[in-house]
Structure 1
Amino acid sequence: MDKVTGTVNESYNNFYKGNSLDWRMLCAKTKAQNLVEVCKGKNFEKVLEVGAGDGSILYYLNEWNFSPELYALEISSSGVEQIKNRNLKNLKEVQTFDGYKIPYPDNSFDLIILAHVLEHVEHERMLIRELKRVAKHIVIEVPLDYRFGVDKRIKHFLAYGHINMYTPTLIRYLLDSEGLEIKSDKASLIPTETTKYNEFVNKKKKRSLVITLKIEIEFFIKKLLGRLLGKNQKEKFANAYTVLTEKSNKKLEIF
């Protein structure tokens, strides 16, 4: 098995045609900010985003001059078309790929970005090993979908293509067991601006002071308790986890 199955490929091929650009850009800005934050203090000359979607994250990285050379891979032909149409000045190349094989030689990049992709991947370790082959550093962000009773909401998550569930602990285990050393990480909440857009625009709920206050108060309480109770509690409340890794020479003994 060295490529995504036909049904998965077909489901994403036209995904970016007609979807809400404003919503994707709003979500992408937060993702890009998280990625930049965990990479703070490091310079990357050549950066590849794998599973780049419609290029929303690349748009912000280009605007912020995160790297002079940006590259993109995406399984969706509609996504590749959208990325090309952005005409990003730092984007050197964009192409489709089969979901697993990276069409570049060993150590081609300083950094690979994998943002909200791993939860969609059928064979996650196969992809991670391929990313590790072509870059020294990998930055990954995943949604923290897992909650008690998540098995009762399978249809909900499959509707988004989320076939894998993660917690910060589980993603750290996965990465460490694949020989990747964690350099920095961040657990984050969904910004109130994004939640309001989802409620009032996506879900078409009538704007009200009650709903707005509820969103603001819930965000404030979770953020405050996370600060007061420490990292473990902060990670329990978080909606996303972002982590920067570096290739390690550590050899793991698997019995």
Structure 2
Amino acid sequence: MSGEPSAAADFYDAAYRSAGERGARWRELGAAGKADHVERLLRVRPDQLVEIGCGDGALLAELGRRDAARSLHGFDVSEEAVRAARRRGLRSVDVFDGQRVPVADDAFDVAVLSHVLEHVADPVALLREAARTAPTIIVEVPLERSLSGRRRSRQALSENAGHMHTFGRAAVRRMVDTAGLRLGADLMDPLPAAVHLFFAETPGARVAARVRSAVRRGVFAASPALAARLFTLHYACVCTRP
């Protein structure tokens, strides 16, 4: 996928159209864990929260159900995604060009970049832009610099999803530092069993998915560092301006 904003908008418009209801259910499934991470890292309910790269609003809607902020806002490059977000009842969701959020400095208390930075050509620039809009930024990315992440099948899935970068924890730290921000609290989490089960369509596949999830959670409980080397984890952190 090209890094040009117009190409990204076209790519994601097509992706949201083709994914249909199944894609919406997949994003809703993932939103629960992502909302857990936002709440765990924030601890205090903000007044104004924006999600930059909000997609179809699945995470914003979940945060709204939890009353995680007084006011929720979102921006995305895809008009198709923004329309879907508005169908969820999210009123303050708009299209942006993927580079500059059309708001004043410090318009929000918290900006969320959840599974977005791996999709953009210049993640440091977008992280800086998020920091312009809010003093606190929540970042979440998949840690794909792992044994399972290097499999050709996994790499193909990531490319088809529009991933332009792969991250490990050290790469996230460098990105945050390059953006001129401070890294605060962070967390890692293996994918929940429901994620593995989502694509399991036969009894045998469902058994295999449960076993895979149990093994990964067991390894993670014993050694998070080893788990990060072996398979994909989700990593979330708080970033603040100096």
TM-score by length of 2: 0.88
Aligned counterpart, 2:51:
49
Q: Does 1:246 align with 2:236?
A: no
Could you tell me how far 1:37 is from its partner in structure 2? 1.1
Letter in 2 for 1:232: A
In the TM superposition, residue 141 of structure 1 has moved relative to its aligned partner by 0.3
Runs of 4+ in 1 over 4 A off after TM superposition: 151-154, 207-210
How far did residue 225 of structure 1 move? 1.4
Q: Partners in 2 of 1:175 and 1:83 — Cα distance?
A: 29
Q: Tell me if 1:26 matches 2:42.
A: no
Q: What one-letter code is carried by the residue in structure 1 that aligns with 2:66?
A: W
Give the conservation status (yes or no) of the 8 Å contact 1:4–1:100: no
Q: Secondary structure at the match of 1:44?
A: coil
Give, as a single letter, the amino acid of the residue that structure 2 aligns with 1:6: S
Deviates more, 1:31-40 or 1:72-81: 31-40
Indicate how the Cα distance of structure 1 residues 69 and 179 shifts in structure 2: closer, same or farther if over 3 A, else same. Answer: same
Structure 2 residue aligned with 1:183: 184
Alpha carbons of structure 1 residues 155 and 22: separation in structure 2 relative to 1, 3 Å: closer
Equivalent pair of 2:63/2:69 in contact (CA under 8 Å): yes
2:226 to 226, 233, 247: 233
Q: Is the 8 A contact 2:143 2:233 kept in 1?
A: yes
Structure 2 partner of 1:15: 15
Equivalent runs, 1:51-200 vs 2, <5 Å: 51-88=53-90, 91=91, 93-148=92-147, 150=150, 152=152, 154-198=155-199, 200=200
Larger-Rg structure: 1
- CA shift at 1:112, angstroms? 0.3
Opposite residue 27 of structure 1, the aligned amino acid is: G
Contact 2:139/2:237 (<8 A) preserved? yes
DSSP 3-state at the match of 1:16? helix
How much does 1:116 deviate? Answer: 0.4
How far residue 186 of structure 1 moved from its aligned partner, in angstroms, is 0.5
| Deviation of 1:31 (Å) | 1.1
CA shift digits 1:190-249 (9 cap, x unpaired): 011221122x1xxx34446742552343134223312xxxx533543551100011111x
Label 1:208 to 1:179 Cα distance change in 2 as closer, same or farther (>3 A): closer
Q: Identify the range of structure 1 (167-176 vs 232-241) with the bigger mean alpha-carbon deviation.
A: 232-241
What is the alpha-carbon distance in structure 2 between the residues aligned to residue 83 and residue 53 of structure 1? 7
Q: C-alpha separation between the residues in 1 aligned to 2:206 and 2:225?
A: 32
Change (3 A) 1:103 1:224: same
Question: CA, structure 1 residues 191+152, in 2 after alignment: closer, same or farther (shift >3 Å)?
Answer: closer
Aligned partners of 2:202, 2:61: CA distance in 1, in Å?
30
Contact 1:15 1:76 in 2 (8 A): no
2:208 corresponds to 1:211: yes
Consecutive unaligned residues in structure 2, runs of 5 or more? none
Task: Find the counterpart in structure 2 of residue 252 from structure 1.
Answer: none
Structure with greater helix share of residues: 2
Amino acid at match of 1:197: F
Q: 1:99-130: per-residue Cα shift (whole Å, max 9, x none)?
A: 01110011111000000000000111221121
Change in CA separation of 1:219 and 1:107 when aligned onto 2, cut-off 3 Å: same
Give aligned-pair identity as a percent: 25
The TM-score normalised by the length of structure 1 is 0.84
Kept in 2, the 8 Å contact 1:181–1:245? The answer is: yes
